[in-house]
Amino acid sequence: MLECRATLKRLLATISLTVALIPLCFSYAIGQSIDKKKMAEQVKAEFLHSWNGYKQYCWGHDDLKPISKTCRDWYGTTILMTPVDSLDSLYLLGFKKEADETREYIVKNLSFDKDITVQNFEITIRELGGLLSAYQITNDKRLLDLADDLGRRLLPVFDSPTGMPYRFVNLRTGKTRDPISNPAETGTLLIEFGTLSKLTGKPVYFDKAKRALVETYKRRSPIGLVGENINVETGKWTNTDSHLSGGIDSYYEYLLKSSILFDDAECQSMWLDSISKINTYLADENPKMAELNRTGATTAGDLWYGHADMNTGKRTATTTGALDAFFPAVLALDGDINRAKMLQDSLFKMWQFNGVEPEEYDYKTGKTGNAGYPLRPEIVESTYYLYHYTKDPKYLAMGKTMFDDLVKYCRTDVAYAGLKSVVTKEKTDYMHSFWFAETLKYFYLLFAPEKTLDLNKVVFNTEAHPIKKTWK
């Protein structure tokens, strides 16, 4: 009887392992047949389709609203959000003539001497990052001058009692507002401001952004987590929810990436401490699958990262979403390929659940929360990193599935539109500049020849602007 039970157990274990491996083998087989060259050309064609739509209806404005074919300027007057955010992509995807014309337009028409109050985080990652990266690609000093002018106008944000930045600043008067911020906005500045220092020889940019990052880290809880909202005047947390999603996400990304870009030992130690706490308190792993993963039998999941209270470590929610999908890329960059693969598999399941990923998804119940999809790049970014590090063709297959889904559901007659709901596939009247800066760039790099850009030689800012370390 006992022997019989043991044989049955062994049989069941073999069956479950085989079942777990089926999707892996299947995707490998699909991956084998992906024509990278053809895919890269398709990505370029869709980039051009979107770019021509922007140009036809909104040239000179910030963003295109692709359904109404009208335009949006973030602050009532243009700061050329789409051209600046797209410029390095135009060069990388090989649209040199288009890129050169756009560059000329930017240097002739972009002025930051405007009486507008802008969000420091968004302007830093999209405009400062875009100008710096395009400067490194073209050597056009006028782009660096624009970046320097912008950096100087943003600097007053750091004049808070803690050194953590206010969220908004007036570009002409330097007047700041909104002290209630979050780690993403206080800690996602060092790649851009630090690079500006290195390229202009003005240390003030690096010093202020580094201090903001360190001051955020210093306020971590006794168990080593950060919360969702912090008051930059008092240094007190106003929301203690801890997670990897919007409001926190790129703070962690910049701890790791700044340590690499600037050879910064302090950033490295802050990152090492943080990642161990993230894996202790935020990671949520199905124990059975975890065991199979550890034995190398599969990477089929289930690893997720949920929410926990920053002080107690107690699980507060089992939700994740499109923004969280940056994390496999960060894990891979950090060398934790095993976790990166597991998490990517989980997040791809989230994508497949509705055919496009939602803003919010409960990995315990399988329910979609906020069902919007504003053309986000993060899961594509992670697919690109994982393909780069593993060369496993299953990531090409994943990329193709996602690309085909977006062509199917988000393409309009003139460009691309986000989705109001990934469930109903109803479109929204907006095309964010990160569609050009990030989503299409990462798709292209996934399929393009290796020599297009050496990931080992650049650090991408959180808006996918590649920065080369050209300094000692």
Residues annotated catalytic, as ranges: 122, 249, 359, 378
* Tokens standing for residue 251: 């703070």
d(CA 188, CA 213): 8
Q: Build a one-symbol-per-residue string for 169-208: x at contacts with ligand DMJ by CB under 6 A, - elsewhere.
A: ----------------------------------------
Q: Would you report the helix, strand and coil content of the chain in percent, each value rounded to 5?
A: 55, 10, 30
Tell me the closest approach of the beta carbon of residue 460 to ligand DMJ, in angstroms. 10
Q: How many Cβ atoms from other residues are within 10 Å of residue 398's Cβ? A: 28
Of 340, 338, 339, 368, which Cα lies nearest the Cα of 356? 368
* Tokens standing for residue 260: 């690499």
Q: Among 285, 302, 324, 463, indicate the residue that binds ligand DMJ (CB under 6 A).
A: 463
Tell me the closest approach of the beta carbon of residue 437 to ligand DMJ, in angstroms. 8
Q: Among 167, 277, 376, 427, indicate the residue that binds ligand DMJ (CB under 6 A).
A: 376
85 binds ligand DMJ (CB under 6 A): no
Chain positions 24 to 83 lying near ligand DMJ, rule: CB under 6 A, are none
377 binds ligand DMJ (CB under 6 A): yes
Amino acid identity of residue 85, one-letter, is D
The residue (of 125 and 213) whose beta carbon lies closer to ligand DMJ is 125
* Tokens standing for residue 339: 């976790």
Of 300, 310, 328, 441, which Cα lies nearest the Cα of 389? 328
Specify burial of residue 28 (Cβ count, 10 A radius: 0-12, 13-18, 19+).
middle
Tell me the closest approach of the beta carbon of residue 330 to ligand DMJ, in angstroms. 11
What residues does 305 pair with on adjacent strands?
283
Q: Is 157 helix (H, G, I), strand (E, B) or coil?
A: helix
Phi, psi of 373 (to 5 degrees): -145, 100
Q: Build a one-symbol-per-residue string for 323-342: x at contacts with ligand DMJ by CB under 6 A, - elsewhere.
A: x-------------------
Tell me the closest approach of the beta carbon of residue 158 to ligand DMJ, in angstroms. 20
Tell me the closest approach of the beta carbon of residue 119 to ligand DMJ, in angstroms. 11
Stretch that binds ligand DMJ, among 276-284, 285-293, 370-378, 383-391 (CB under 6 A): 370-378
Q: Is 180 helix (H, G, I), strand (E, B) or coil?
A: strand
Q: Is 119 helix (H, G, I), strand (E, B) or coil?
A: strand
The residue (of 166 and 326) whose beta carbon lies closer to ligand DMJ is 326
The residue (of 219 and 376) whose beta carbon lies closer to ligand DMJ is 376
d(CA 133, CA 86): 11
Under rule CB under 6 A, how many of the chain's residues touch ligand DMJ? 10
Tell me the closest approach of the beta carbon of residue 402 to ligand DMJ, in angstroms. 14
d(CA 5, CA 265): 55
462 binds ligand DMJ (CB under 6 A): yes
Chain positions 288 to 327 lying near ligand DMJ, rule: CB under 6 A, are 323
Chain positions 107 to 146 lying near ligand DMJ, rule: CB under 6 A, are 125
d(CA 148, CA 105): 18
The residue (of 46 and 463) whose beta carbon lies closer to ligand DMJ is 463
Stretch that binds ligand DMJ, among 152-160, 225-233, 268-276, 373-381 (CB under 6 A): 373-381
373 binds ligand DMJ (CB under 6 A): no
The residue (of 262 and 435) whose beta carbon lies closer to ligand DMJ is 435
Query: Which residue has 């080369």 as its token pair?
Result: 468
* Tokens standing for residue 142: 């006028």
CA distances from 458 to 96, 133, 146, 389, 464 (A): 21, 10, 22, 14, 11
The residue (of 31 and 183) whose beta carbon lies closer to ligand DMJ is 183
436 binds ligand DMJ (CB under 6 A): no
Q: In terms of DSSP H, where are the helices of 61-173?
A: 81-92, 96-109, 120-122, 129-138, 141-154
Residues that bind ligand DMJ (CB under 6 A): 125, 250, 323, 376-378, 434, 438, 462-463
